[in-house]
Amino acid sequence: MKVERFPYETSRWAAGCLPEQAKRWFEELETLGPQNVRARLSQTDAGSAGSIAIGELRVLTIGFAQEWLAWHDRRREALEAARHNRQVFWTRFAALAASVAAASAAIGWTWTIIHKAGS
């Protein structure tokens, strides 16, 4: 089963906080978006266990934000791979359809030439 949202309840970085707090962290990260979170994380040298102020939150575990960001990146990559696979499928389908049309035209011309020559 595909995970449609980040499973913040099972995040190892949210283990020491209340579920409501982890949900607030998740919602704030979703509001800010991956690019803003990535930019904010790049401004700190603290490790994953450290905390950071981000958006409206005064304290958020850096590891939680990193885990959320990694989940977002994996999800984006999976969506892009699926889109690419669909694009390849339809390109192949179009090439096959064009080949069938060309073969049909060639057979039709050949048929016409043979029958006109026989008349």
Token readout for 62 is 């850096």
Give the span between the Cα atoms of 84 and 8, in whole angstroms.
29
Residue 33 domain-assigned (yes or no): yes
Residue 34 domain-assigned (yes or no): yes
Q: What is the pLDDT of residue 1?
A: 44
Using an 8 Å Cβ cutoff, are 5 and 18 in contact? no
Q: What is the pLDDT of residues 88-114, one digit of tens each?
A: 999 999 999 999 999 999 999 999 988
- Res 22 pLDDT > 90: no
Residue 109 domain-assigned (yes or no): yes
Q: What is the pLDDT of residue 68?
A: 93
Which residue segment(s) compose the domain that 50 sits in?
8-118
pTM over 0.85: no
Residues 6+ apart with CB under 8 A from 13: 48, 61, 63, 64, 66, 67
Percent pLDDT > 90 in the chain is 50
Residue 47 domain-assigned (yes or no): yes
What's the number of domains the chain is made of? 1
Q: What is the pLDDT of residue 38?
A: 92
Token readout for 61 is 């575990």
